[in-house]
């Protein structure tokens, strides 16, 4: 592969690698993509290189993620307007999921997750009244994401492109009332269960802050500031989630809308990030407020980073 050979500085190494050269033919399963993009001749050379890389036994996953993102996002109008557009969308989804399953690099996996979720958002938001054509592939993808093991599912939970956004967009889209939300709701429920288990694994902020800030004057102030992220509140959310899921039909839009009221992963991050400044303001005119702000910021970052490293090393 040319982009790899340029990096080779040892002639002997280049000779050895030449022994493993593979003359790649494009896998027939990508023929749909060639059809979808066939109207734009200027894209075909680059597309051919991309599809050959996908068909190669030794894949450059970083290159694949970058190219897949470009084709499925920048040229979505071609996918949307083509009769085989849903099949084409499904292939791009397969590509991103293959990267998550096969790449050895965690950052590349995370990039694939981000781009997959962004692509799903684009399908939902930009398909308009033609969204019905894409619903089968969307439902299939929701199930595939739900069925990832915890180590990989965490990448979806913490992605900038939150799963809650998918649910918001889909419940607001012009789908028929007969559409069943089973796949989305089951993914949604797993997302919240995982999120709450994650934040329960972080030491209760009120407990460790009081332990570290021995001179704290007002437990009530800190209690109020940390209530949203306290273990007590998260346990209440878990019980409420179980009750909501048990009382509603899994396939109903109403359940999807009810689930949107639950706080997601990013909302906990936002709550944590607001507390240091609020601690400073609660002790206005005192050096203690500045100390509290630094203490909470440092401890919070350390706990979350430690948990994140644990999950990173397991992927």
pLDDT tens, residue by residue, 8-20: 444 444 444 344 4
Q: What is the pLDDT of residue 106?
A: 93
Q: Are residues 68 and 112 in the same domain?
A: yes
Give the whole-angstrom CA distance, residue 205 versus residue 20: 55
Based on the fold, state whether residues 66 and 139 are members of the same structural domain: yes
Residues 32 and 143 in one domain: yes
Please report whether residue 5 resides in a domain: no
- Asked if 213 and 153 sit in the same domain, the reply is no
Query: 34 in a domain, yes or no?
Result: yes
Question: Does 40 score more than 90 pLDDT?
Answer: no
Residue 184 forms part of a structural domain: no
**What pLDDT was estimated at residue 291?**
73
In a domain, 194, yes or no: no
Same-domain pairing of 94 and 170 = yes
pLDDT in the model for residue 102 = 95
pLDDT at 57: 86
**Residue that wins the pLDDT comparison between 213 and 72:** 72
Say how many C-beta atoms besides its own lie within 10 A of residue 19's C-beta: 6
Residue 159, SS3 per DSSP = coil
| pLDDT value, residue 30 | 93
Is there a single domain that holds both residue 139 and residue 271? no
240: exposed, middle or buried (Cβ count in 10 Å: 0-12, 13-18, 19+): middle
| Residue finishing a domain among 145, 179, 213 | 179
Total structural domains within the chain = 2
H-state helical runs in 56-149:
61-69, 76-81, 85-102, 106-126, 131-146
Average pLDDT over residues 156-164: 94
More confident residue, 272 or 98: 98
Q: Which residues of 181-200 are buried (b: 16+ CB within 10 A; e: fewer)?
A: bbbbbbbbbbbbebbbebbe
Q: Do 131 and 257 belong to one domain?
A: no
Give the rounded percent of residues in the chain with a pLDDT score beyond 70: 80
Q: At 281, which helix (H) or strand (E)?
A: helix 265-282
Domain residues for 212? 202-315
C-alpha to C-alpha distance for 90 and 141, rounded to whole angstroms? 8
Mean pLDDT (the chain) is: 84
Provide the percentage of residues in the chain whose pLDDT is more than 90. 55
Question: What is the rounded distance in angstroms from the CA atom of residue 129 to the CA atom of residue 176?
Answer: 10
Q: Are residues 152 and 251 in the same domain?
A: no
Among 114, 146, 179, give the residue marking a domain's end.
179
From 147, 179, 211, the end of a domain falls on 179
Please indicate, yes or no, whether residues 214 and 310 belong to a single structural domain of this protein: yes
What's residue 62's pLDDT? 95
pLDDT for 314 equals: 47
39 band by pLDDT with thresholds 50, 70 and 90: confident
Residues 55 and 111 in one domain: yes
Query: Which pLDDT does position 94 carry in this prediction?
Result: 97
Average pLDDT over residues 39-67: 90
Residue 97 belongs to a domain: yes
Please state the pTM of the whole predicted model.
Answer: 0.83
Residue 14: inside a domain, yes or no?
Answer: no
Q: Where residue 294 falls among pLDDT bands split at 50, 70, 90?
A: confident
Q: For residue 264, is it within any domain?
A: yes
* Cα gap 275→195, rounded to integer Å: 20
The reply to whether 160 and 114 lie within a common domain is yes
167 and 281 part of one domain: no
148 part of a folded domain? yes
* Least confident residue range of 37-51, 122-136, 297-311: 297-311
């Amino acid at each position: 592969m040319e982009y790899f050979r340029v990096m080779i500085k040892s002639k002997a190494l280049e000779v050895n690698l030449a022994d493993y050269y593979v003359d790649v033919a494009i896998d027939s399963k990508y023929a749909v993509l060639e059809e979808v993009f066939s109207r734009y001749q200027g894209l075909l050379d680059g597309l051919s290189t991309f599809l050959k890389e996908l068909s190669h036994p030794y894949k450059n996953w970083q290159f694949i993620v970058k190219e897949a993102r470009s084709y499925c996002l920048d040229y979505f109008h071609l996918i949307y307007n083509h009769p085989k557009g849903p099949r084409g969308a499904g292939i791009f989804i397969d590509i991103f999921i293959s990267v998550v399953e096969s790449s050895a690099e965690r950052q590349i996996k995370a990039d694939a997750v981000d781009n997959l979720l962004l692509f799903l958002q684009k399908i939902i938001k930009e398909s308009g009244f033609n969204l019905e054509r894409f619903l089968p592939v969307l439902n299939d993808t929701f199930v595939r994401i739900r069925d990832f093991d915890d180590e990989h599912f965490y990448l979806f939970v913490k992605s900038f492109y939150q799963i809650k956004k998918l649910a918001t967009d889909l419940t607001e889209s012009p789908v028929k009332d007969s559409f069943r939300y089973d796949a989305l709701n089951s993914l949604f429920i797993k997302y919240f269960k995982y999120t709450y288990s994650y934040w329960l694994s972080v030491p209760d902020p009120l407990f460790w802050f009081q332990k570290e800030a021995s001179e704290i004057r007002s437990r009530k102030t800190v209690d109020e500031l940390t209530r949203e992220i306290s273990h007590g509140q998260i346990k209440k959310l878990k019980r409420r989630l179980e009750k909501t899921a048990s009382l509603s039909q899994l396939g109903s839009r109403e359940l999807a809308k009810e689930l949107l009221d639950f706080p997601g992963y990013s909302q906990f991050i936002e709550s944590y990030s607001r507390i240091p400044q609020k601690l400073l303001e609660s002790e206005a005119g005192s050096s203690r407020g500045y100390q509290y702000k630094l203490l909470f910021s440092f401890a919070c970052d350390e706990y979350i980073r430690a948990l994140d490293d644990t999950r990173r090393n397991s992927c």
